[in-house]
């Protein structure tokens, strides 16, 4: 009976350690995945913005003529910067669609 108590106690401690290890590894991998996805999205956004600026320069459109492609100027507002970037991309897509439709009509 005494041996069963100590075996149960050791088993519970071992299972607890394994569970703690698995949870900490899982959370670490999840954090790493999240960080990688955020970095990928940031790089993708920068690439899209660079291409849009190149296309805008090739088309000869200045920021005064078209839409400002810069990010928000408020420091520390990553969510607002991202929303401004998304809004700018949507506006540029709309502008590109309008230009394509105008080209097709000619």
User: In angstroms, rounded to a whole number, what is the distance separating the alpha carbons of residues 52 and 63?
Assistant: 12
Range of the structural domain that residue 17 is part of: 2-105
> What residues contact 89, with CB distance under 8 A and at least 6 apart?
48, 49, 52
User: In angstroms, rounded to a whole number, what is the distance separating the alpha carbons of residues 103 and 106?
Assistant: 5
Residue with tokens 């078209």: 66
Q: Per-residue confidence of the chain (106 residues) as pLDDT tens digits?
A: 889 999 999 999 999 999 999 999 999 999 999 989 999 999 999 999 999 998 888 887 655 554 544 444 445 566 778 888 888 888 888 888 888 888 888 7
Domain count, the chain: 1
> What residues contact 31, with CB distance under 8 A and at least 6 apart?
none
User: In angstroms, rounded to a whole number, what is the distance separating the alpha carbons of residues 93 and 82?
Assistant: 16
pTM: predicted TM-score of the whole model, two decimal places:
0.44
């Amino acid at each position: 009976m005494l041996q069963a108590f100590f075996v149960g106690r050791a088993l519970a401690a071992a299972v607890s350690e394994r569970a703690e290890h698995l949870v900490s590894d899982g959370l670490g991998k999840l954090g790493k995945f999240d960080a990688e996805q955020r970095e990928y999205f940031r790089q993708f956004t920068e690439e899209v913005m660079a291409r849009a600026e190149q296309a805008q320069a090739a088309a000869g459109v200045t920021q005064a003529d078209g839409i400002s492609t810069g990010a928000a100027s408020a420091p520390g507002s990553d969510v607002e910067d991202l929303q401004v970037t998304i809004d700018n991309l949507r506006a540029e897509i709309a502008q590109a669609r309008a230009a394509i439709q105008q080209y097709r009509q000619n």
